[in-house]
Amino acid sequence: MSKKLVVLCVSSFFLFVALWWAIHYPTVLSVDKTLLTSFRAWGWLNALSLLGSSVTIGVCSIVLVLFLLLRKRVYGMVLVLIAVAGGYGLNTWMKHVVGRERPPFSHEEGFSFPSGHAMMSSIYLLLAAYFLGQEVKQRFARFLLYGISILLALLTGISRLTRHVHYPTDVLAGFALAASYLSLCIIVYEVFQKK
């Protein structure tokens, strides 16, 4: 078990809880609204919301499971299924627990905190980087895989701000919860791998 993963899991969880606590203050909502207006000029990122759609996540997860099936990595397949399905369930549950309304004039329904697109794109993109990185020997190639995955997840989260369907704290909370939950899943996976 990696100590870095444990630190990431715990610190991300506390960041998520801090954001959850902070959104109940009018000052934070005011800052959220001000920051949201600054993303209007980033409209070219709107299309990247597709990376966080249910269809994209489902297709990419199936491809990753098939890849792991060909490698006969049963625990890896289980990790993908639990991380993606569990992440979706966790996100839906948290949205209802928090019950934060979306920004005014949002064309999407449902609650806003945490951002499902930010959370779920982070989970499946980083899982892909995690498993593909194990197939690559060069450190630079692994670094590149993780770098591209993180960049795509960040841009997916930002695209939710350019579309004005989430506040910045929603997106940040999505990233934080994804990091905590995925780290926990990988920690458990690596424990089982060693047995």
- Tell me the C-alpha distance between 130 and 135, whole Å: 9
Q: Is the pLDDT of residue 106 over 80?
A: no
Residue 136: what pLDDT?
83
Are the C-beta atoms of 157 and 115 separated by less than 8 Å?
yes
Q: Is the pLDDT of residue 195 over 70?
A: no
Give pLDDT tens digits for 148-160.
Answer: 999 999 999 888 8
pTM of the model: 0.89
- Tell me the C-alpha distance between 72 and 94, whole Å: 34
